[in-house]
Structure 1
Amino acid sequence: MGPLGAREAIRSVARKISESNAIAVSDVGQHQMWLAQELGDALPGSHLTSGGLGAMGYALPAGLGAAIGQPDRSVWVVAGDGGFQMSLQELATGFFKKAFHCVSP
């Protein structure tokens, strides 16, 4: 088996999200479309996205809101390097609100 491609990585993430009844939050980019396709209607109302607005940097603050609003559920934030850089200061808010348990690049 060769190196893991981006689509396969998103497919794996979507499977983990579906299996754990988590909330998925996606930033803008191709990964947003792939995640929506992979999740389908498996978890109605559990995929937060800015839609077609192109709001780069949306995912991390939206994920923070989801984690605070639904503390009993895991929240997966899927963002690229640009979206993460535009909102990484929100990690401090997540820390002080005790909303984030794991952050992985």
Structure 2
Amino acid sequence: MNLWSFKLISNLLMISANKNLHLSGRSFHTSSKTIRGRVMAYLNSVSLKKGSNEFDIPFDRQQLADYLNLERSALSKELGKMKKDGLIEVRKNHFKLMS
């Protein structure tokens, strides 16, 4: 096998592995039966990835609701409850996990 074909196969495997990780992450975020569970699974994973309990997400509310397979109004209502319960601070797409 020559160098260019090795590089091509290596790149294809890397792309495939990254896509698989992305899709399995999404299924992990949406596996919870509750809205709070889905939101917390997503926010905790972003927090771990960013290495901080305060971070921006790449979604607006509608996009986040779509990603988590939720209605936007239900997501907004749950974020308000979570804020009231002292679990998070949120402003637009900026989040801070309190616990």
The interval holding the TM-score normalised by the smaller chain is 0.3 to 0.5
TM-score for the superposition, normalised by structure 1: 0.34
Does 1 or 2 have the higher relative contact order (CA < 8 Å, sep 6+)? 1
If each structure's helix is expressed as a fraction of its own residues, which one has the higher value?
2
Bigger Rg, which one: 2
